[in-house]
Amino acid sequence: MTTDLSPGQASEPTTPPLDLESVRQQFPALQRSGEDGTPIIYADAPGGTQVPQRVVQAMTSYLIETNSNIEGEYAASIATDQLILKAREYGGSFVNGDPVGVAFGQNMTTLNFLLTRAIGRTLEPGDEILTTTLDHDANVAPWLLLAEDRGLVVRQVGVTDDLRLDLDDLAAKLTPRTRVVAFTLASNAIGSVSDARQATDLAHQAGALAWVDAVAYAAHRRIDVKSIGCDVVLCSPYKFFGPHMGMAWIRPDLAETLPAERVRPAGILPPGHRFETGTLSHEALAGFVAAVDHIASLGGGEDLTTRLTSAYRAISAHEGRLAERFLDGLGQLSGWRLFGPAKYSPTQRVATFGLLGSLAPPSSLARQLAERQVYAWNGNFYALDLVRHLGVDIEEGLLRLGFCHYNTVEEVDAVLGHLSEMSGS
């Protein structure tokens, strides 16, 4: 099988490198040090990124200057209406899709429960859903619960030896009763990337919807629903330099036909708005717009969509250098086990790494790193099926390190040095 390329990974002009000093100055948290004066290294990006000052300012300014409910006849309310419209337009540009398909919510999980319940009302007993071993439980549990309520069948697609989505297994498990293929663009636990276009094509050939979790992908690669061809994509702005909230894009003609659960007075347009229940967090929308602006500021071009595509080329190139440095360095240490692709390729992994150490459990390793002012995660990260597949203790899980565009080569080297000390290498 051939491997699909994300936009910007082929036939694109050379992208100037990121100005790391300028980038880091935009993030107040990156200026912090521990009590001993040691600078903090944020190697915890997969669990949530830090935010630039413009996000803080946008949210604060909204609350101070234009805080209001919607559809009023006065200036603050009108400004809020305009903010929601702008956020929807930015959401469309962010995924390169029609902005009328954008829906905002409390978080990705909540949105996915709403959307799966909506599609569930169109399904019949015996219809089938495919999930994958790689997925965060937010794109698995909603389908399992729906299956209990509607008499559906849920099957799971496995992984390859290097822990990527097994497309052959996907093809084998599709049947005429398959209605949805739910899969992730990147594993939140180990960073392996899925061949999204091929998965979507297989789903569509079987007459099924392609339902995509992009949460662990969005900070690292350009989401392009036109290139992927998916029907639904979900992500979390707090994973790409914004506030805690969720965003979904639903193919507009699909969104218009799904039976949404809404209060009676609520309007129905645009289609994505049908899945926004109650009043949105307007200050979070302001932060979301600012986060997208931050990413776009790293690229060039005349419009937001072009700047985002350019920016993600630069982000991918920089993070590729970080990932190569980390993987090469880790390969020289004893006592560490890496899960997922051992060599970096932009089509195979992002800079998220799931590890086990031979001398201590993940919780202890995370504490040891914290003592060295390195922030890292431990646990199963809600990737329950993957952790079980790995034969790892479900509670202890893995040690997870992850880098994004504001991390430096020097930080990667420092983390490797700490891992060497901790393993006695």
DSSP state of 159: B
How is residue 345 written in tokens?
Answer: 């390729």
Task: Compute CA distances 206 → 51, 73, 128, 131, 270, whole Å.
Answer: 41, 50, 11, 15, 29
Average pLDDT, the chain: 94
Angstrom distance (rounded) from CA 315 to CA 296: 11
Task: Compute CA distances 393 → 96, 362, 380, whole Å.
Answer: 39, 10, 9
Strands (E), 161-267: 178-184, 209-213, 232-235, 246-250
pTM summary value: 0.94
Q: How confident is the model at residue 268 (pLDDT cuts 50, 70, 90)?
A: low
How is residue 380 written in tokens?
Answer: 């199963």
Specify the range with the lowest mean pLDDT, choosing from 196-205, 233-242, 257-266.
257-266
* Chain segment 71-126, per-residue pLDDT in tens: 999 999 999 999 999 999 999 999 999 999 999 999 999 999 999 999 999 999 99
Q: How confident is the model at residue 262 (pLDDT cuts 50, 70, 90)?
A: confident
Q: Is the pLDDT of residue 184 over 90?
A: yes
Angstrom distance (rounded) from CA 259 to CA 145: 18
Q: Is the pLDDT of residue 7 over 70?
A: no
- Secondary structure (3-state) at 354: strand
% of the chain with per-residue pLDDT over 70: 95
**Dihedrals φ, ψ of 57, to 5°?**
-65, -40
Mean pLDDT, rounded, for 316-320:
97
pLDDT at position 345: 95
Helix (H) / strand (E) element for 157: namely: strand 153-157
Specify the range with the lowest mean pLDDT, choosing from 14-28, 205-219, 273-287, 392-406.
14-28
Q: Is the pLDDT of residue 11 over 60?
A: no
> For residue 221, how far is the Cα from the chain centroid?
9
Helix (H) / strand (E) element for 113: namely: helix 108-120
